[in-house]
A and B are shown apart, each in its own frame.
Chain A
């Protein structure tokens, strides 16, 4: 494993020279390390690149790592990972991705992750994306997350794009079953000429289901972000989406939230706020002795925390 791969793994997962527990490391389109445990089974797919991952019924408190990295330009990686979470499992999945290029060529990773979550489960899905390197080569990550939640289950998706990803188109789809909750916290920062498009399409199909989607983004320099979210209440359910964005310099953000109440018992709320950092916020932190630049960084760090 080269230095770039180690650095990317350190940023997007808990890499400290190795990973503990069930894991699979993908580097430049190849599986370089894979380990199953007694309750988490990781198998390579037979028909296409990717993995079939099964978490046994009742598995509790285990964390698995499925990081991927592209360490140089000229690599266009596409992977299909399917997660089968059996009933009553409680697990954390860390699936970060990092792309690096400094040879002027594009480095791209496209991960298609499908989750089939049984009844009574609790799944925490942590996804960190980062781009590193210099030069004009684009760093691109286009993740697709497809979730099917059974009954009385919870999926918490914590998705962060830290920095350096030139282009991303993030697609998240979910079908939420009876009594289940889908909770998404997404944070994206773009700078330079980076572009980020985020699409959410969520169906609450079961009575008592809920969705909480919170997206916070910062668009700096000349970067652009677009958020399209569709939440459909097809049963007795509650849905909440919140989109907050800070723009600095010539950054732009477009947010298009859509709520479809297809059932008389569906209760849906959307909140959105886009704008520059308020002058009063900067003044307050400057009154502690911070410069405007330091104050702006503190506000952005907190906002994306």
Chain B
């Protein structure tokens, strides 16, 4: 479905963030990209979504080279992206955002279903502006709901757990698992959260801009024992 071939990316000041990243993500399931802070995980997500362009290398989606396509074209081809830091809009309501995400006018039942997946009650939120009146956790949930609304087969979530309270976490995990069943596609989740790692079908560890490990959930055990990945959660 998605292939990154020899991707390099550096900051404008010349600091190399990604070094020869090659990945193939195919089939269906939850792929968690994890690793130490500053290792390049979010940059990979942005490169997949088209927000950043690689300095070299290529990106293929369903066999098509999409390296030169922008955010709009990639979204139209079926790539969804939940921002790590959601954007606020004065004057756009939660309903507006969900309608735009889905590409049509959603009915009340659909909106209620989407918001309940992220632990929000539609009647309290649907007419609220997506602005500074919402807390960090609320806006993060709405961000995730916009990706659910798109119903694409390839979705990228950048640290979806950030700002989500402990009590709501099981519901969020459940929502990702439901999406896995419903879409039959790929969810790429950038995360350090142990409970998200626990639902991963595949774990990719990115460190210093390189793919350090790639495999099943248990690849983390040896890494954590050797403490070479200090940002990952410790296992008891």
Residues of A within 8 A of B (CB): 216, 244, 278, 280-281, 283-292, 298-299, 301-305
Contacts and interface: CB of A to CB of B under 8 A. Distances in A.
Does more than half of chain B's interface fall in helix, strand or loop, or is it mixed?
Answer: mixed
A303 B91 contact: yes
Given A283-B51, A283-B71, A302 B91 contact: yes
Interface string B20-61: 000000000000000000000000000001010000000000
B150 interface: yes
Contacts of A289: 72, 75-76, 103
B219 interface: no
Interface stretch (B80-88, B118-126, B227-235): B80-88
A299 B92 contact: yes
B191 interface: no
Interface residues of B, number: 24
A298 B49 contact: no
A251 B212 CA distance: 50
A289 B100 CA distance: 9
A146 B32 CA distance: 62
Given A286-B75, A290-B72, A302-B96, A244 B150 contact: no
A288 B89 contact: no
Given A298-B92, A302-B90, 15 more contacts: A216-B90, A216-B91, A244-B90, A281-B87, A281-B89, A286-B70, A287-B71, A287-B75, A287-B83, A288-B100, A291-B72, A299-B91, A302-B96, A303-B89, A304-B91
B52 to A, nearest CB: 11
Interface string B172-208: 0000000000000000000000000000000000000
B100 to A, nearest CB: 5
Given A287-B71, A290-B72, A280 B87 contact: yes
Interface string B89-118: 111110010001101000000000000000
B106 to A, nearest CB: 13
Q: Nearest 6 CB-CB pairs, A to B?
A: A302-B91, A302-B92, A289-B75, A286-B71, A303-B91, A284-B87
A287 B81 contact: yes
Most A CB within 10 A of own CB, among B51, B87, B93: B87
Contacts of B86: 284
